[in-house]
Amino acid sequence: MKNQVKIKKIIEPFKSQITVASDKSLSIRSILLSSIAVGRSRIFNLLESEDVKNSLEVIKKIGVNFVIKKKFIEVYGVGINGFKIKKNTILDAGNSGTLARCILGLCSGSNNKIKLVGDKSLSNRDFSRVIKPLRLFGVNVFSKKGRLPVELFGSNLIRPIQYIENKGSAQIKTCIILSAINTPGVTKIKALRSRNHTELMLKSLNYPIKVKKTKKYDLIHVQGLNQFKAFDYKIPGDISSASFFIVLTLLSNNSEITIKNININPSRIGIITILNRMNAQIKIINKKNYKGEQIGDIKVKSKVKFQSINCETSLNSSAIDEFLLIFLVACKSNGISTFKNLEELNKKESPRLNLALKFMKMIGIKVTKNKNDIKIFGNPKIILKKNYHIKNFFKDHRIFMMSVVAALTFGGKGWTIEDSDSINTSFPNFLKILRKLGAKIK
């Protein structure tokens, strides 16, 4: 079977209630934190994807046992600095930037050399952004040009640091927090606001971490070397996975959907804020709090007219993984939409900003780029009549899924979309859910 899908028709109107893949950020963090807890943790509803499987294999290689049961996974934590790392251990993070950057912080206290590797895509991503703070801790880290492979060898002189994280990267911030946990004393971080799952999870475990919010930054103090007990954690649905169905519904005819039990952490729902400002009608109902995280159901109805937006840069970090979908709505909006300071998009699994421009131009949308700012000239009456072949997009799972949504809503003579196996990194049952909604996908 070829690693591609073919779509010839837009999706018929639908009304449905669905659940989507479990939150990948929380799945990986719960694995990593349970590995340094003391005792047996149970993780329910863990995402079944390649990134999460790689996370489990990584903790196994550093001496942490786990058992996969029918309804949950048991992780037998070894406590802080309790890893049994053999000499010259090689850890493979696959495609996961979250796992790769966070595991370096988690293993910063190792006395044996660790070599971190990843797939071709991950090996092209920037690791200097975590190497720099790790070296300030006193950790020995080596890399050629800030790329994988990265070799790490801990230090007996590891020390707390003060660090300003000004990229708005939750991966950098979490790497520093995990390294701080291994370090005596108090580490102080001034971090440009980004998703805060690590801080919330640690607070729910009564770990001594303090967070003070200012207008743009979070001031975080982490007390090192405080052992904490094992825990139970139930993973909610992923807003990034839900977003494909939010936009599918918005751009479809006479359709409605309710997406159940989604993590609606304020640092993650920028897409809802942005789309509602573009005249969407997205509602969050049945809200509840679970261990610091906000959970809710998302209700969406299709919409005929969308308004362009001059998107505030303060929303960038809370929508960074969803901009491809926001761009699709901008393509069908009335007016010119402007998005600025999107350099982080080109530091993802692929140069997403550049590829998004390539995609939009391919379907006949006028778009201009000035450094890391773009303008999308919306066309509400756009009608596609050609055949489209989506290939050479770096096997990026989000570009594949965005292309499927476009094919099912924008029409065209026919679409062939390559690299269907890319969804295994984050959302393996994406196509299955679409087919249940009535999508004709071969």
- Is 73 strand, coil or helix? strand
Alpha-helical runs (H) found in 14-91: 24-36, 50-61
Rounded CA gap, 206 and 204, in Å?
A: 5
Which value, to the nearest 10 degrees, does the dihedral of the CA atoms of residues 187, 192, 196, 201 take?
0
Q: Residue 121: enclosing H or E segment and its boundaries?
A: helix 120-123
Paired strand residues for 89: 114
Cis peptide bond prior to 149, omega within 30° of 0: yes
CB 268 within 8 A of CB 27: no
264 vs 238, 244, 295, CA distance in Å? 9, 15, 5
Backbone conformation region of residue 341, classed left if phi is above 0, alpha if psi is from -120 to 50, else beta: left
333 vs 244, 337, 338, 382, 395, CA distance in Å? 18, 8, 12, 10, 28
Residues contacting 321, CB < 8 A, separation 6+: 240, 243, 348, 398
Amino acid at 54: N
Residue 107: name the closest of 148, 141, 132, 67 by CA.
141
Rounded CA gap, 432 and 410, in Å?
A: 20
321 is an active site residue:
yes
Handedness of CA 305, 306, 308, 310 (dihedral sign): positive
Residue 362: name the closest of 392, 333, 337 by CA.
392
**Tokens 């801080």, located at residue:** 199
Catalytic pick among 23, 51, 321, 419: 321
Residues contacting 362, CB < 8 A, separation 6+: 388
CB 319 within 8 A of CB 325: no
Active site amino acids: 321
